[in-house]
Amino acid sequence: MNDMDMAIKIAKQVSKNGGQTFLVGGCVRDEILGKEIKDVDIEVHNIEVEKLLEILSSLGEVKKIGASFGVFNLKGYDIDIAMPRKEKSSGRGHRDFEIYVDPFIGFKEAAKRRDFTMNALMKDILTGEVIDSFGGVYDLKNKIIRHVNDESFCEDPLRVFRAAQFASRFDFKIDQKTIDLSSKMDLSALAFERVFEELKKALLKSDKPSVFFEALRYMNQLSTWFKEIEDLIGVKQPKEHHPEGDVFNHTMLVLNQAAKLRQDAKDPLAFMLAAMCHDFGKVVTTKIDENGKVTSYKHELESVKITEAFLDRLNKVNLKKEVLNLVELHMKPNQMYNIAKKKSMMKLWDKAICPEDLILLARADSLGRDKIHDYDEIEKILRASLEDYKNLMKKPQITGKDLISLGLKPGEQFSEYIKFGHKLHLSGVPKEEVLRHVSADINKKQLL
């Protein structure tokens, strides 16, 4: 039995006891938009909590994931089963709320706590009737993100980021009054985990992640959590290479190009974060000489430092290594694809943690500008070079066992010779010849 089948079964039992069960929130919104429903959330009205628990217990093992504010689950099902409730802010954070469960509060009052009209829709599971207390259907049809209630909206600062990521994911416009309220809210007390979740949705679920940042910019809400992005605004670039304008504009275009490629990335989130962070270093390296020439030498190295601080603030250490590697190397493929030295390309692929994602990032970076050009031939050359590297790595290399057979005892020199052998291997030197070089060096040192 799937989640929706169980939800219907719950609704039938609730109905027998005089209550009503509604699909709520995102699943109603997504159904109206013609999108696949992934999360089944239901809200049960007009029966007591004890009776609901009795019904749920008859259907399976009840998990009280939020019993103090009337939210339950059945083991084996991914369904949030909630009771109607009121919420009142008790602090500055996203979770600082006093919760009052009231099964008989009424449909409009229950929906009033929702963030946006499109998320305040309720659909009776058994009859299919949609309860639309705040004009959510109209706003969906007209692609508008509009808050439900002035007071309750401002009590939860995370809704600023939710508005931005919904605008990004659905390509909707945010209502001006919602923007005005959002621009006045203090975001500093939010937990980094919640901010990152909204960022992740924008990066991984949107065709145009740029809208997320552009919305926050329009709200004047970049500075608290995305100061590194805000700092890109106004940073000049050479017009002959970047007719799109400043580094902020370029980064937004790169993000949108990256979104077209992320399904092919080995690690889509690390890839999208690297696309977002790749030019952070231009803020501190950009120079304009007396002739108006704009340069940003070694900006990729400064980008690594700034990106590391950014990721540390979001506490995403598990992503850091690959993101920083992509940021550091993001310029190399486009600089080196047509050079004659095959060894340099082999060294590049060897240094890359995920060379496939590096090629995708190089493509997004190249196409992330107003200057239209064909990148397919460049990518073809890069991928052929990467294939050469993979074939090279399949060929035998020296091992610790080889070193022991040459009379070397395990120790510090082991790793030095292994690195030396690998370096020669990247240059195309066969294993037998590498062994001769190593053997000669060992004998020379022994004589000394």
Burial environment of residue 414 by CB neighbours within 10 A (0 to 12, 13 to 18, 19 or more): middle
Q: Report residue 271's pLDDT band, with 50, 70 and 90 as the boundaries.
A: very high
SS3 220: coil
DSSP-derived pairing of the beta strands 20-24 and 122-124: antiparallel
Q: What is the mean pLDDT of residues 343-362?
A: 95
Distances (CA, A) of 407 to 2, 63, 183, 419: 64, 64, 71, 18
Are the CB atoms for 386 and 367 separated by under 8 Å?
Answer: no
For residue 99, pLDDT over 80 is answered with no
What's this model's pTM, rounded to 2 decimal places? 0.90
Best CA proximity match to 181, nearest among 136, 214, 148, 211: 148
Position 94 scores a pLDDT of 45
Position 370 scores a pLDDT of 67
Cβ neighbours of 135 (radius 10 Å):
16
Best CA proximity match to 196, nearest among 165, 174, 218, 234: 165
d(CA 139, CA 145): 7
Contact residues for 438 (Cβ-Cβ < 8 A; gap 6+): 398, 402, 403, 406, 417, 420, 421
Best CA proximity match to 111, nearest among 103, 96, 122, 123: 122
The tens digit of pLDDT for each residue in 294-333 reads 899 999 999 999 999 999 988 766 889 999 999 999 999 9
The tens digit of pLDDT for each residue in 370-383 reads 666 789 999 999 99
Position 317 scores a pLDDT of 66
The tens digit of pLDDT for each residue in 128-176 reads 999 999 999 999 999 999 999 999 899 899 999 999 999 999 999 999 9
Best CA proximity match to 305, nearest among 282, 337, 338, 288: 282
The tens digit of pLDDT for each residue in 168-182 reads 999 999 999 999 999
Average pLDDT, the chain: 90
Position 68 scores a pLDDT of 59
